[in-house]
Structures are given as C-alpha cells and as structure tokens.
Amino acid sequence: MTKRVIKKAVLAYSGGLDTSIILKWLQDEYQCEVVTFTADLGQGEEVEPARQKALDLGIKEENIFILDLKEEFVKDFVFPMFRANTIYEGEYLLGTSIARPLISKKQIEIAHQTGADAVSHGATGKGNDQIRFELGYLSLDPDIAVIAPWREWDLNSREKLLAYAQEHGIEIDKKGKKSPYSMDANLLHISYEGMVLEDPNAEPEEDMWLWTNSPEEAPDSAEYITIGYEKGDPVSINGEQMSPATILRMLNEYGNKHGIGRIDIVENRFVGMKARGCYETPGGTIMLKAHRAIESITLDREEAHLKDEMMPRYAKLIYNGFWWSPEREMLQAAIDKTQEHVTGEVKLKLYKGNVIVVGRASENSLYSEEHSTFEEDEVYNQKDAEGFIRLNALRFIIEGKKQPARRAHDEVEVCKIETGSVTVCERIKRFFGFGSKK
C-alpha cells in the first residue's frame, strides 16, 4: 500500500509520552512538517511545558500552538449541553465526549492557518475518541487528511513504546508515581479506565479518586449555595456574577469538598464493546440538579416532557461524536428555544455526596400557589375535575362496555388454537368457573 504524501500535519499534542512518540513517528514515517496544538481545557496540569518538549523534538516556534480554551469550552460546549440536562445511559455527564468537538474545531482552524493538509490524534482504534475527533475533522473540512497512528503502527504495547522513545531520545518522565489508569481531565470532569477497573466487579481503590473527598470524609455539616440562572445558563453563585469557566471551577470546589459527583459505570461504546469507567464530575452534578430545579417552575409541562424525551437522542449524538451534525444542531435550536424564560435562582444544600434542592424562585415562574394550595381558594372549581376525568376515561368506558362479548370471543379463539376443540375448552371453563354467574 502506497503511503499518503503529507506535507504538514497538525497534531493534538499533550506533551506526554504517547503524543511525543506520535510527533516523532509522524516526522519519520511521513517525512512531514509537524504543527503541535495543546489545549488548556482546565485539566489541572501546566500546559506550557509542552512548548519546550515540542522545541526539543525539532518543532519550529511558529508551529507550536498552546491555547487557553477554558471559557470557550464551558460557554459554547458545556453550557449548551447542560441546557438539555444531558446524561448518557442514565448516569454519564459526557465530560470527555463534549471536549472533543472543540479540540477538532481548533485543529482544523490551525490547519487552515498554517496551510497543513492533515491532522492527527492519539486516540486508539478501540475507543470512542477516534470517532469523535474524526467526525469533527471531516464535518469541518471534508478534504483534510486524517492520521491515526494507533491504527497504523505496530507499537502496540507499553514496552514497544518505551523502546521507541529510548531509541529516538524522547524524554521519559520518571518523576513520581504514575497512575496505573488511563485518565482524561478537563474543567468538567476526570475519568479513569483500565487496569483493575477492567474487572467490572472490582471496587476501585479510594486513592484512585483525585478530585473529590469520599462522602465519608466530607464535612459533617451541610453547606448552602445559591446559583443564579439567565436563559438556562448559570451566571452567578451566591449573588456574585462570574464567567462560565469560573462558575464551573467554583462548583467543582464545592463538589470536591462535599464528596459530590463520583460515578462508576459500565457504558456501551459506539464501536460495540462495553467499557467500565469511573468519573468525577462534581460541578456538573451540581449544575444538573440546579438546572432541573429552575426548569421545574419555568417550563410548561408538555414542553418539559417533550424536552426530556429528546434528551437521550441528544446525549447519544454527543457521546457518539455527532456534535457538528445537522440533527444535533436542530435539537439544540429546539432546546435553546425552551430556555428563553429559564431565569431565576436555585438554593441548594450540599452534604456528603448529596445535592439537595431547598428552594427555587423566578420572575417567570409558572407555579401558582393560589391554584395549588390545599386551603380554600377562589380560582379552582374542584367540581370541574369530574368532567375532565370522565372525558379522559371515555375510551375506557366504551371499551369496558364492549369487553364481556370481546372476552368471550377471545377465549373461544384461544381454545381453538391450543386444542382445536371448543368442547374441551368449555369443560375447562366450567371446571375453573369461567363464565359462571355465581
């Protein structure tokens, strides 16, 4: 097979061992110029050292891009997703999934800016990320070439990777104890996969969790916070206006302190296999609870119910990598329309892993105490309920009046099918008293 001719490739580069090996491999295998792109999504690690590592591997200064994307990540990707109350398979808040379309977008922008004809990523051929990255690339630039080293090279073990690094003078960081897990982190979450977690019946060790206190070790007293919302997005905490990324960072701190946001799940990957993963999403867990609370008083009933029906499809699109698809954009437009009046405040109590809604208020509230009260009122005639109920029951009433004849007919037909004899059926019915007038 003839290898593609690539002049310049933009690599999603973390500065770690794996992507440093990919960088060198691209130079050797494709004889191409490499542009590195490192995204700061609030993962909690310094990204600037990636610049020196890229320089050490021969990358030109003008071909090194390190971008602070925290605000764009939260404002344009996390918040739109949370307007839909999005969770995948009932639990996963999609922390990894929602970061990939932004990384893809920036890689394509940098490719256009630098005249690159290819993009590359470090996702394996077993996971979801390869799909998320590449669907993003091809949605934004159908002509771009995509290089996925894990689907091409034979460096399919840790030993081979380390040997390649040593052979090519790639620095191997031996400082400190490396986590045994495959991890991904950004401002929304941190994930853990692999090693002991590959046994879905093995409880993760407590020291695996890097962000949150265990609920047992969380403070013994509850803490109250108030989140302010405007058109479906959080804009303040305890009355203080904040930027999107700052709000999520602050909610992470509250959640970490109180042991909020841990989950341990087995999920269905798009490529076909099941995978066990553990996640910490402290701020997102708080946001989800708060957003549903403010919606509970500002959305019409049928609007809210239809939105909940749409959400699993929306979540599946994000999980599977279809953020840039027309169907996701169509659903987003409908979801955003529902958020026009989702403005107000939600008061929460945080305590040992729990997020408890204790109050919600909005100038757009549809809650009517006058109508809902158990005390005497002058706006609701309880006698009206009788006609409402009978009209809703009308089809049951009609069916019920027809039912005796239908039931007798159905019993005979079943007997004919099972025994071929109505006589046998009649004897059975008399034995059990079916049709008795007693």
Instruction: Give the domain 8-69+94-178 fold.
Output: Rossmann fold (3.40.50)
Under the banding of pLDDT at 50, 70 and 90, the label for residue 421 is low
Least confident of 67-76, 116-125, 351-360, 382-391: 382-391
pLDDT at 242 over 60: yes
178 pLDDT tier (thresholds 50, 70, 90): low
233-255: average pLDDT:
98
Q: How confident is the model at residue 368 (pLDDT cuts 50, 70, 90)?
A: confident
Give the model confidence (pLDDT) of 82-91 as tens digits.
999 999 999 9
The residues annotated with a catalytic role in the active site are 18, 100, 129, 182
pLDDT, tens digit, 9 for 90 and up, residues 201-214: 999 999 999 999 99
Q: Are 389 and 382 in contact (CB under 8 A)?
A: no
Least confident of 57-66, 173-182, 234-243: 173-182
Does this chain's domain 8-69+94-178 share its CATH topology with 183-299+341-372? no
User: Domain segments of the chain: what residues?
Assistant: 8-69+94-178, 183-299+341-372, 387-432
Quick one: average pLDDT of 143-148? 98
Q: How far apart are the C-alpha atoms of 271 and 122, rounded to whole Å?
A: 17
pLDDT number for residue 172: 72
Are the CB atoms for 362 and 294 separated by under 8 Å? yes
Task: Provide the whole-model pTM.
Answer: 0.89
More confident site: 394 or 432: 394
- Per-residue pLDDT for 424 more than 60? no
CATH architecture classification, 183-299+341-372: Alpha-Beta Complex (3.90)
Q: What is the pLDDT of residues 92-134, one digit of tens each?
A: 999 999 999 999 999 999 999 999 999 999 999 999 999 999 9
